[in-house]
Structure 1
């Protein structure tokens, strides 16, 4: 289920379904959306703080439902990640979302919402930089900005070595729906009604600030759950600051990936600037994609359909 493309002058909504956003960065991001000729509506509970959560579960769900229900809102951007989206998924109104399909955008902790919404409704969603986490910061990369164009016109996203160097871990070419996101959030869905389906999919993984042994642990759990073996291919995004945290002996992150993927029998390509990084290349989740180690590329089909004029 493709959401409609944006039109200049459309209104978007910004919600905080996880942790409280940095309000200074959030406010700075509004200039970017104005440059895209988009109007912005902030969710009424956006500034709520409840410990490490952006307000209670009830108010965060209320804001999400309100944005999906509002016919004037054409896209919903999550302000930031952090923690909290797994607490919401059992109480979301998926029928409401199905009846009001629109662009839904975020990453990191938002991975749990991407997976739940896609598997409950079929809606294509977007993995991309967020207002308070990325867009409103002074180091937001111009290359990241370019990939917002895909929201206005159905366009294939082609990622090759013109963007960043890519490394082949296992050769091959595969096609499938692109799913996944933050590795720790993918793992946290296992054993729940919202467990990620990787059968015949291309699985995207990325993470931040996790030492190699933790990445090993996450991949081990996915392997035991047979999520790696049934995938058609693995897309390894950015693993920012995923280095040993003390002086004890450790594998490198490269050694961890080699151990899990070198003999897996499906194409595995790493080096994608997708995740907690700059630039951060935006991609739709749930659309068909082609991963090729021969051309060192990932080509993702459009995540929107032509909007109504």
Structure 2
């Protein structure tokens, strides 16, 4: 099931915080550049009722407040799309308390990345609604790389077919602090194993996606393509453990697409290939790595729950 409306100029976007609060990012005023950029694209923004509630010791607000904000956004007929503020570490706390019938009756665009992985996959699993892994509200503060990031997001939210393409260049620096220098490198998507395959896109942040294993919120499509990436807090040792666990829970992927690792993971290409070599299934299906999603910048937008076709012969990734 696709959202009822595509994102177009004049659409109303509700910004809310399913995990970390805006206070983690310095507060509302410190992030006005994101609001201004989205408004310059032609969108109307509003913020959830509990948006400015003071953050707790985990940089979040009470579960009940976050659940209420999501329900309010889905129930409000004037809201066309929902955008998460940022990731965090506890979006999975919300899953038992969500009204999935309400969400299914009001299908609309929901977008975020990182910890929002839990919400995106759970809502797809419980309702069939296609969700979008892409930039968060705070991501629109970024200047360098923003044209690529915005173009991919607009393509995904158009609800038409579109192709993922490599960014011109990428960075693993603190994009959210313009006072710090940034270093960019040419983008090269890489092939571990060749092939062509189609399936339903699931996954996202690997450690967060793993939290859904064994719960009613883990998606179970018949044929699936795994999108997997790690955040700055999980190094190559954690990736090794998390990948093994996911391939035990999802042993028959049609393809595996791996996001580029942030520098904090200390992942080298030699180490990554060593880890991939451990798993025989990865030699029999298309596997790409160093792709533009999640914790390096800029990032492309992908649809969780939608059909995707991967062809390594021309590095093609197409959502239908």
TM over 0.5: yes
Distance 1:152 1:192, change over 3 A: closer
List per-residue Cα deviations over 1:90-134 (Å, max 9, x = no partner). Answer: 1000000011110100010000001110011111111101112x2
List per-residue Cα deviations over 1:121-162 (Å, max 9, x = no partner). Answer: 111111101112x21234452211112322664432212457
For 1:69-80, list aligned pairs within 5 A: 69-80=75-86
Match for 2:314 among 266, 291, 295? 295
Return the alpha-carbon distance in structure 2 between the equivalents of residues 87 and 111 of structure 1: 12
- 1:34 aligned residue: 39
Match for 1:45 among 38, 44, 50? 50
Q: Tell me the SS of whatever aligns to 2:260.
A: strand
Any runs of at least 4 consecutive aligned residues in structure 1 with deviations exceeding 6 A, and if so which? none
Q: Which runs of 5+ in 1 are unaligned?
A: 246-250, 302-309
Return the alpha-carbon distance in structure 1 between the equivalents of residues 61 and 196 of structure 2: 44
Query: Does residue 219 in structure 1 map to residue 264 in structure 2?
Result: no
| Number of equivalences | 294
Q: Tell me the SS of whatever aligns to 1:271.
A: strand
Give the TM-score of the pair, scaled to structure 2. 0.85
| 1:260 CA drift (Å) | 3.2
Distance 1:223 1:287, change over 3 A: closer
Return the alpha-carbon distance in structure 2 between the equivalents of residues 82 and 261 of structure 1: 33
Return the alpha-carbon distance in structure 1 between the equivalents of residues 208 and 241 of structure 2: 13
Distance 1:97 1:291, change over 3 A: same
| 1:277 CA drift (Å) | 1.6
Q: Tell me the SS of whatever aligns to 2:37.
A: helix
Distance 1:253 1:47, change over 3 A: farther
CA contact (8 A) 1:169 1:270 kept: yes
- 1:13 aligned residue: 14
Return the alpha-carbon distance in structure 2 between the equivalents of residues 152 and 80 of structure 1: 18
Q: Which runs of 5+ in 2 are unaligned?
A: 169-186
Q: Tell me the SS of whatever aligns to 2:294.
A: coil
Return the alpha-carbon distance in structure 2 between the equivalents of residues 150 and 98 of structure 1: 23
Match for 2:69 among 60, 63, 66? 63
Return the alpha-carbon distance in structure 2 between the equivalents of residues 93 and 162 of structure 1: 37
Return the alpha-carbon distance in structure 1 between the equivalents of residues 16 and 144 of structure 2: 22
RMSD after superposition? 2.1
CA contact (8 A) 1:170 1:262 kept: no
Return the alpha-carbon distance in structure 2 between the equivalents of residues 161 and 221 of structure 1: 28
Distance 1:178 1:14, change over 3 A: same
| 1:234 CA drift (Å) | 0.5
Give the TM-score of the pair, scaled to structure 1. 0.88
For 1:1-309, list aligned pairs within 5 A: 1-3=1-3, 4-21=5-22, 22=25, 23=27, 24-48=29-53, 49-132=55-138, 134-139=139-144, 141-150=146-155, 153-161=158-166, 164-197=187-220, 199-209=222-232, 210-225=234-249, 227=250, 229-241=251-263, 243-244=265-266, 252-260=271-279, 263-301=282-320
CA contact (8 A) 2:16 2:47 kept: yes
CA contact (8 A) 2:259 2:294 kept: yes
| 1:264 CA drift (Å) | 3.7
Return the alpha-carbon distance in structure 1 between the equivalents of residues 153 and 167 of structure 2: 18
| 1:50 CA drift (Å) | 1.8
